[in-house]
Every structure is written in C-alpha cells, then in structure tokens.
Amino acid sequence: MFSCLTASMNNEFMKNKKKHYRVFLVTVTILSFTSCQMLNKTLLSITGDYKKPQYEEAEDVIDYCEKANVIYDEIWMAKNEDYRRILNEDYIHHIPQVLIFDKNKSNITIEEGKDCVGSIMYFLNDTIIKPINTHDTLLYSNILENCTVIKDAQISSNPDYYYIISWAKYFPKMADDVFKKVNDLRTIGKINANYILLNMDFPKQKERVENDK
C-alpha cells in the first residue's frame, strides 16, 4: 500500500513538474520574443533604419514623397487609425509588402518582408511573364475601401499592371529603397504599370490635430 501511495505521489509530482516546465518554456519564449523585438528596434534606431512612429497628416506624407523625388501614380493612406488596423490585420502584414495586379485588378502575386523590395523587379528578370494568378478579384477594392487616395498623379494611362507597395516614414531607409526601385522601373520602362504607394503610418485624425494645437 505504501509503495502504491509512493508511486502515485511520484506520478503526480512528474505531472506537475512537466506542467511547470511547459509554463516555464512558454514564459521564456514570450520574454525572448519581446526582448528580441525591443533589441531589434533599438538596433534599427541606432542604424537609422527605424524611427518612432508619429501620427502623420496626408500633406506630410505627400511632401515626404515629393522630397524623395519618387515617380508614383497614386498615394494611398488609411482613412483613420481603425482602418489602418484593419489593413494591418487583414491585408498588409508587412512593411514593405508588394502586391501585383493585372490590368483587370486581379491579384497576381504578393511578396512581403524585408527582402521583398527586390521582387518589384520581378517582371524585369524574365523575358516571358509567368504570373501566379490567385484569382482574387476583390483584394484591390478591399484594400482601397479602407484608404483615401491622398494624391493622384496618374502618370500611366491604361496600365497593364498595378503595383500596391506598402511603406512608412518610420522605416526611412526601407522607404528610400522602395522609392528607388519604383524610379528604376520607370527609367527602364519595360512594363506599363501603375505604381501605388500605400502609406502605413498612423493617420492623424481631425480631433487629434485640434487637441495638439
């Protein structure tokens, strides 16, 4: 009987030990992830790749693009902070992110993450275009309905392709890289495309502007 009781206690002890170990692992993982995020932001701030996000007005975003001499067709910005959250959760998961659409605004491909800027050159690397059509005909309009077109230059008429490219002022070097790639494509002029710069900074709402005065 004593041996059975001892075995039972040992089993219970092992179960609790495993449970606490799992909790420990989860805790360590969360703390490590948070620490890495903070460390990454700190390092990126030191190198000038990251700046603390600010609330931006449409005029500031347009002026930023004009000073960068980027040749765009349109600049989009979230209608307000709630719409930005929807964009971030449902459609634009990374900065930068490149979404390419055909002339009918059907989604062809999506590239995202730090290294995706080079994918803007996708069509320049192939003499024969090999699109991967996702048959998503609503993505373009779904993104647009959460945005305001804050600047419409419309340089390209009857484009064969549409590029929606996410960027933000708080990633200045990455934004510069995006702008350079867009201008490179314009210079080479191999494809007739409409370039839409989707700004993902936090939009400054009217009530916030009044409170800041």
More confident residue, 29 or 166: 166
By the 8 A CB rule, do 165 and 120 touch? yes
Over the stretch 171-193, which tens digit does the pLDDT of each residue have? 999 999 899 988 988 888 778 88
The number of beta carbons lying within 10 Å of the beta carbon of residue 96 is 26
Q: What is the pLDDT of residue 34?
A: 32
**Phi, psi (5° rounding) for residue 44?**
-65, -35
Q: What is the pLDDT of residue 121?
A: 55
Residue 72 has pLDDT above 60, yes or no: yes
More confident residue, 182 or 14: 182
Distance CA 112, CA 94 (A): 6
Residue 57 has pLDDT above 90, yes or no: yes
Coil, strand or helix at 80: coil
Over the stretch 128-170, which tens digit does the pLDDT of each residue have? 445 556 678 999 999 999 999 999 997 878 899 899 999 999 9
By the 8 A CB rule, do 110 and 98 touch? yes
Q: Indicate the pLDDT class of residue 21, thresholds 50, 70 and 90.
A: very low
Task: Report the candidate in 145, 207, 169, 133 with the shortest Cα–Cα distance to residue 50.
Answer: 169
